[in-house]
Structure formats: structure tokens, C-alpha cells
Structure 1
């Protein structure tokens, strides 16, 4: 199953130079790094991320991969210095794939190079995604000593038959062990859940939520399962082997998550994310939603620098070959128009609890506010105070809010 296709875009110069348009206003913009680790032991049936198992890697090995990322870091520095970017890193996120298939020392080496190359702000957030069965206490302690501050465990569910449908291989009993080990190491902990898997009942979902809450993580993410074309689970549905996703049941599951998490002291700050006491949001993900800059390192990784979006070639072998030749691994780019940037601003800000200031909308867009209040999609009191914040119903219909305002 090939991962999802890259977008269309204009070619990128072989040296990776960014368009002149990025220079205006770039100085001092918040800057983060995403490091893509594209390896998985097996590919989960629902996944269309740019990931590869050992048999799909060709000439690239997991052992040699960090060297390629280090080469892209050097290239990025040259490109960004030329563009006038001067901010140290505020957040770093190792995602995948399964970053923790690499030795902790390899991740720490990449982190150290990022620090030496760009600088890291004091108190910066450094996150690593992990499968529960790919780490132990010693691994987590090594991450913390190396400068990692946060780990995000892909729990997905506590119910065996749901995990089986998702092709997840970890033992649910393993999750509390690694969560506690991460806490003991001094790491902030996030637990990621998926709801709406075919065959998952509301009570199954309740069991997963209660299990996640019982571990007292700092943060919980709950994402609705989306069936992507070309995935194994999409083929199973097409053949009638499993049921289709029930949208109404997914809505009920979201409302249950918000209720249980709220009762347990978690506050939503983005449609799919809750932070304990409102104190532990994912600052890296918030940076995406707040239109800051980031460079995505690794095959298929996407970047955004001051209104210019670009993305790397997908396969690790093609990525390595470009860097071995001294060329940028970027496959294409697009410079967003002012209209596109405004549409994305509205779409992203209306996903957040902090909301969108009505004053930042043009006059013609403000005419939709009354309609949104009437349909109970935004908080009336907050709107009268000058800010658009979705209600619970509005969170379920977030796209309607964005369309109404753009």
C-alpha cells in the first residue's frame, strides 16, 4: 500500500533556495522543527502516512538514516540564513512512523545537531512519538537525559478487538507501564486515542477513555478514524469484511470523550486535544495551528516558511540520493496567496479554544456571525465580547464555521 501522494507544486531549485517573498517579515517569526522517522515494524491497516517497513526501504538502512537528516539540517541552515530567518527553535517534534525504532542515541544526536545549528530557546518543547512496545524505562531515561521533554504514546484503544481491527500489535497492559516509566523519567506524557473503528461500540470507547484517564497523563488526543483510499482497512470495507464507519456514532463518541475528559480535569484546547488543567498543550502542534514557521526534515516531510509551503520527495532512497548529490530533497513548493493565507487562518483558529478575534475578519465575513450564533455553532457570549469560539456542537461542525466566515 503506497502512502498518500504528494501535492502538486512548482519545482524547487537544486540548492533549495526559497522564493524572495519569504524575506519580508521573516525575522523573529516563531520557528520549529519536525523530524520524520519513516520506519515501522508493520504498517497499520488504517495508516496512509509516509512510512516503510524493512522490505520497502531499498538501499536505505535505519542505521544510516540519521546521517541523511543531519545533511538536510546543514542544507536548511544555509537556505534559512539566506532567507533572513534568525529565530532559535521553539519546538521540536520527532514523528513517524515509529521514531523509537531508532536507538535513543540516534534521536539525541539529531537533537544535538539541531541545537548546535539553530539554537533552542530556553524551555523549548521537544517531543518524541512512541509505540508502547518500542520503549522501556532505560530508553525513556536516555531520551530525558538527552534533552527530550515530552513523549506521545500511540495507545489508540484499550480494547483488544479494536486494536486488532487497526492492526496495532501492542499489548494494552503495556501502556500503563511505559506511561509510568516516562513520568518517572521526568517526561511530560501524552496518550493518543482513535475512535470510530469499525466494530467499536460506545462502551468500547468508554473503556478506552477511562483507561487513558486512569493513567493520569498530562495530555490526551482523540482522533476520529478517517478511512483513506488505498489503505488495508478501506479494502476490507469495500469487500464487506468489516462495517463502514458510522458518522453518527463517531459524533456520540466525541461528545462522550469531551464529557469524561472534562470531568477528569482535562480542558480542550483544540478540536481533538485535551490538556490536564489546561497546562500541558502540545506547543508544537499549536505552532501549526497558529501559522508559525517550521522545517520538516525527512522523506515526505512538509515545511512552512513565512507563507511558502514545500515538501520533500517521499521515498527514503530518493531522499538519500538527493542529499548524497548535494541537492535539496524538496520535491515542490507553493507560495500561498493572501486569500489562501486568510482562509487557512480562519480554518485553523476556529479549531482552537482561544478562538478567532472578530476584529480580524473583513466586514463581509462578519455578517456570518449572527447565523453561527443562531445555529448554536459558536458561543454567543464570547461572540458578543468579540471572539469566535466553537460550542460543542460547533466543534462537531467546525468546517461549517470556517465556510461561513470565508
Structure 2
């Protein structure tokens, strides 16, 4: 009973050196030769020892990147060697904003029956990777939305001091690459359930119990051009009056690099319905703390060469249209209707000045695209009695 009650409330990383001896201008007797020969024995050992020490010493990076290791190249190179997973993080990406997006990939019957299905987004958070002052650790800082303030106002200094972003994780640096442009960290504990810092799936779906370490594991981690994707199989145990119940889920966690130049925020208007985010607002002129609501929206922008037409009210195509993919598990008979329902929004975007702003495509079998790449917005079809 407890499990059902909990679930129904759910919201959704030597050679020997042969030095010939010479006796200049003299003849060496057999006894002398014997003496000299055996006298060289210690030197031979010393020479061999000295030579073995001169063999190239493997760097920490070489010890990780052995012949048995596999590397997936992308935003971070992902190194997999045995049971260990590593991120090779370019120093150039330190301090950049990144978004963690966690989704359910596979769920058991108990969650499915409660309407917690595959494809549900369980949590998001924005983070930045930083090097510590000594260059021995990589720190992860949660990047929270800051209050709105004019940087030229005196109060901006106080806002900066009163809303510091917290550190949430720390990794020892395991190695540096050959030219020291990247650092290598081991990420196992952050995806195998031991440290739910990047996403506490059982907490997020209101079960609240921790992952069982010997029943949880990393299935795979791979890299894409602007993101890294980790697939984990995590198990928890819930105790009910009738006994313990094991709950196993597969969770996909994407770490995606956000644009270096953020999109300009747009204030909400009561005349138009939007989902919004509320932020505090400070200024030197105010007598009390204000609030500002910003709309959540797609980044639809006209091409620079089309800007004059766009400003004149003529329809233009966006730089990056909104593309939805229909996942491979969707029955073929329903796909035309799903496509029509999505494309019905085309008229609304035309009122905003864009044509062909929204598109729908099938994820065909054998297609090169990878559904695990967060750049693909995939419409998930759930086989469930509740959704």
C-alpha cells in the first residue's frame, strides 16, 4: 500500500650494458681475467638496474588510456576501461553553463501502473565545472537563476554576495592529457547510484529510498558533439507490510553544453498565455523587493539577411526550426494523426512571423540519428494503462 500511495503522488562519469674492459698496454692473466670478470658481476646488476630505470615511465593518462580502453569523442571525450568511466574535460569548457536533463528510459510494472512512464523528465539543473585553486580537483557548481538587477546599480554588489551558487560535487583529477589542455576525472559514483548529486531519481518520483549499490550499475556512457549521455540501471528497495519490493528503473542523464551567448529574456504579458519563471528584481530606486516574470520559449530567430523582412511583418524561416521526431515504438497507424496534431501549431508560429517553424519527422529504423542525443526532440509513445 505504501508504495502505491507514494507512486500515485509522483510528479512526474634492460638490457644489460656490456662495457668491455681494457687494460691498456698490458697482458691480463687468466687469474686476473677471472677476477675482473667476477668483479664485473655487481656492475652488471647495477647496470641492468640502471637501464630498467631508464625505461619510459607511463603517465597517469597512459595508464587510463590503455589498449583495452574505448574512447567516444565529443563535448567531453568519454573513456571506458574495464569497470571505470572517465570524462576528459577540455579546460576551455571550465566555467561554461551546462544543463543536466534526467529522464526515465525503462520502468517496472509498479511505476507504469501508477502513470510514471518511459520518457518522463524527472529533473533538470544547470551546472558549471571549475578547477580548484590548486589545480588538483574539478568542482561542480550548481548555477541558479539570479535575481534581476542592473549591473551598474550599487545594490548589484549586494545581490552578488547574497546569492552565491553552491558547490555540489568534487572530483580528484586522475590525469592530464598529453598537452595539458584537458583533465580526466572518474565519474562512476555519480551515475551508478552511489552519489545522486546529478539526479536523485527515486527522490524525484517520490519513492524516497536510496539506490542499492550492488544492484545498480552504469549501462553505458557516450559522447555527442555538444552533450554527454549516461544510461544507468538503478534499483531501490521499498519495505511494505507484505514484505520488501525491489524497484528497478533505467535512467538517461544528459549533460548538455548551453550556448555561450544566452538568449535575451522576455518579460511575460498578461495579454498572452505563457509558462513563466518568476525571479526577484532589485534596483537602487526600489523601496521593496520586486518580482519579474519571464516566459519560457523556443529560440526562434530570423536569419540576419531576413531581419528586414521579419521587421516588416513578412514571414521568414527561422535559423533553427523546432523539429519533433516520432519514436520508433509509435504504431504506424497513429503517426499521421500525431503529425497533424503537431503541425496544427504552424499557424500560431506564422502569427509570430515564422513559416515552417515547426516540423515533424519519423525516426526510421537504421537511421543515423541517435535518440539518446538530446539534440533530437523525440515524442515518446508509452504502452501504459495510465499516462
Common fold: TM-score over 0.5: no
Task: From the two aligned structures, give the one with the greater helix fraction.
Answer: 1
Under TM normalisation by the shorter chain, which class is it?
A: under 0.3
When normalised by structure 2's length, the TM-score is 0.23
Task: From the two aligned structures, give the one with the greater strand fraction.
Answer: 2
Q: Please identify the structure whose Cα radius of gyration is greater.
A: 2
